[in-house]
Amino acid sequence: MDYILIIISAVFVNNIVMTQFLGICPFIGVSNKVDTSMGMAGAVMFVMVIATMVTYLLQQYILEWLGIPFMQTVVFILVIAALVQLVEIILKKVSPAMYQALGIFLPLITTNCTILGVAILAVQKEYNLMESVVYAFSNAAGFGLALITFAGIREQLDLVNIPKSMKGVPIAFIIAGLLAMAFMGFAGIVK
């Protein structure tokens, strides 16, 4: 039950993009096409969960143990940066063709602030490992949901004439605002 609440909360009620304001850059930058948004969502899901697991273990079993939880920021960012690179190396080594296909398929997948943010938030919320993983997963799902919906709207808007001064980023923010407003209706579903 708790897990379900975490999921509903992260996907609908406290959506990472629309109410927590994390991952805005890819949200604004990569959300032009529905297909790539989907790919991006899948990749972020993997990276986010793995990163959260690793940072969780580091935090609980190393930093706390050493009494230096304040090193969180430095350690997490380094670990995440290295981790993402590591995954790439492994993929390339393991199957070059697959790696290449991914490279063509996906836009740049970056260690944006979502990954770090979710890792830190999971620690702050004092979740246990399983909860952290569910939390990371559902935040990635919420990210994907926002990204894909948003990409759909933008694809549609590509075909109509919007005022020149609103084109691009401003209109993206307006849409995000209205979408966030719509999602406010879910408030209270998870107390």
Q: Does 4 participate in binding other proteins (rule CB under 8 A)?
A: no
Shortest CB 112 distance to ligand FES, Å = 4
Shortest CB 23 distance to other proteins, Å = 7
The DSSP element (H or E) to which 95 belongs, if any, is none
The interface with other proteins within residues 90-129 (CB under 8 A) comprises 90-113, 116-117, 120-121, 124, 128-129
Q: Does 191 participate in binding other proteins (rule CB under 8 A)?
A: yes
Instruction: Give dist(CA 108, CA 14) in Å, integer.
Output: 26
User: Which is nearest to 3 in space by CA: 157, 128, 102?
Assistant: 128
Q: Which residues bind ligand FES (CB under 6 A)?
A: 22-25, 112-113
Instruction: Give dist(CA 81, CA 112) in Å, integer.
Output: 10
CB-closest chain residue to ligand FES: 25
Q: Does 187 participate in binding other proteins (rule CB under 8 A)?
A: yes
Instruction: Give dist(CA 115, CA 43) in Å, integer.
Output: 12
User: Which is nearest to 75 in space by CA: 61, 63, 87, 60?
Assistant: 63
Report the Cα–Cα distance between both ends of the chain, in Å, rounded.
13
The interface with other proteins within residues 133-152 (CB under 8 A) comprises 133, 137, 148-149, 152
Q: Which does 1 bind (CB under 5 to 8 A by kind): ligand FES, other proteins, none?
A: none
Q: Which does 5 bind (CB under 5 to 8 A by kind): other proteins, ligand FES, none?
A: none
